[in-house]
Amino acid sequence: MEALGLAEAPLDHPLLYPGAWPAESGLLDGDRLLPLDRLVHEDRTPVLAVGSNACPGQLRRKMAEFGIVSPIPMVRTRVTGIDIGVSAHVSRLGYVSASPFESPGTVRELFVTWLDAEQLAVIDASEGVPLPEGNYRRAWLPSADVRIESADGAVLPGAFVYVNRRGVLHDGTGAPRSHPGQRELITELLLASARLRELFGITPEEFCARARADRRLCERGTRLFAEEKLVTESGVERFVAGLSSGSAEVSRGQQTGSPGIGSSLSPPLM
């Protein structure tokens, strides 16, 4: 991965978020990204990545938290119906992460990671799924609403995706804004909010350093997004099991009903 420029993880370098994505599909196997022999893996769970989970370096770091070294198929797909928005929370990892929003007709090249039960539990934990107040819930996107097509023309019946339970930031008109990359995003947010600058400083570097050092500060920043009315629904909340209509909050239950779902681990990250 070093030779391909895919080894660095946003966990270690938050301003790199969402990290480098591969140019093509591949099998993440330790420090290597190998060719794939097939693009669909029926014995695994498909999870669509819209942020750093499409970065091999990040995936490797998350798996290393639990000593998991099993390979992960990463399949580049053509996705119609969602776009990449900005999560309405400040992460303790030092960045403002991505979350999908519904966008009919939008086509994006995104990766599907095919996870076994242990790998899925690790990613769930890293996104806070097992926690009642975790940042994300896992939702099933059916093909009737979101089309996911691999390079060989196969259309998946659906895939899971992580949806921020607080919603996403809007663009000033009430519509979800797209994620421009970490440095540009933080610069724009700080310029637009004096209260945010009071909390996190005036540069992206200060923002990341302060966020990584202080969980309560991140919680204050998250509340500030809502207080300054920067938040809207993503439209994807409706795919999370048990969601109440008209609310960005989802139930405390976890989406089920797809093969490969294992038991959840205690979250190492927030």
Residue range 114-130, pLDDT digits in tens: 999 999 999 999 999 99
Query: Which segments of 53-109 does DSSP mark as H helices, in order?
Result: 56-64
Q: Say yes or no to pLDDT of 241 above 90.
A: no
Q: Say yes or no to pLDDT of 11 above 80.
A: yes
Give the contacts of 216 (CB within 8 A, at least 6 positions apart): none
What is the structure's pLDDT at 127?
A: 96
Residue 254 lies in a domain: no
Dist. CA 147–CA 111, nearest whole Å: 13
Residue 3 lies in a domain: no
Range of the domain at 22: 14-239
The total of structural domains in the chain comes to 1
The H or E element spanning position 27 is strand 26-29
Q: Say yes or no to pLDDT of 40 above 60.
A: yes
Dist. CA 57–CA 75, nearest whole Å: 16
User: First-to-last CA distance in the chain?
Assistant: 26
Residue 23 lies in a domain: yes
Residue 253 lies in a domain: no
Q: Which two tokens stand for residue 101?
A: 């929003």
Q: What is the pLDDT of residues 159-210, one digit of tens each?
A: 999 999 999 999 999 999 999 999 999 999 999 999 999 999 999 999 999 9
CATH number of the domain that residue 32 is part of: 3.10.490.10
Residue 250 lies in a domain: no
Dist. CA 218–CA 199, nearest whole Å: 9
The rounded radius of gyration (Å) of the Cα atoms in the chain is 17
CA distances from 29 to 51, 56, 88, 159, 190 (A): 20, 10, 33, 22, 39
Amino acid found at 135: N
Dist. CA 82–CA 23, nearest whole Å: 20
Residue 270 lies in a domain: no
Helix, strand, coil abundance in the chain, percent, nearest 5: 25, 25, 50
For tokens 């893996």, what's the residue? 41
Q: What is the pLDDT of residues 251-268, one digit of tens each?
A: 323 333 333 333 334 434
Dist. CA 161–CA 191, nearest whole Å: 31
Query: pTM to 2 decimals?
Result: 0.88
Residue 197: exposure state from Cβ atoms within 10 A (0-12, 13-18, ≥19): middle
Residue 261 lies in a domain: no
Residue 22 lies in a domain: yes
Residue 268: CA count within 13 A, CB half-sphere: 12
Binned at pLDDT 50, 70 and 90, residue 101 comes out as very high
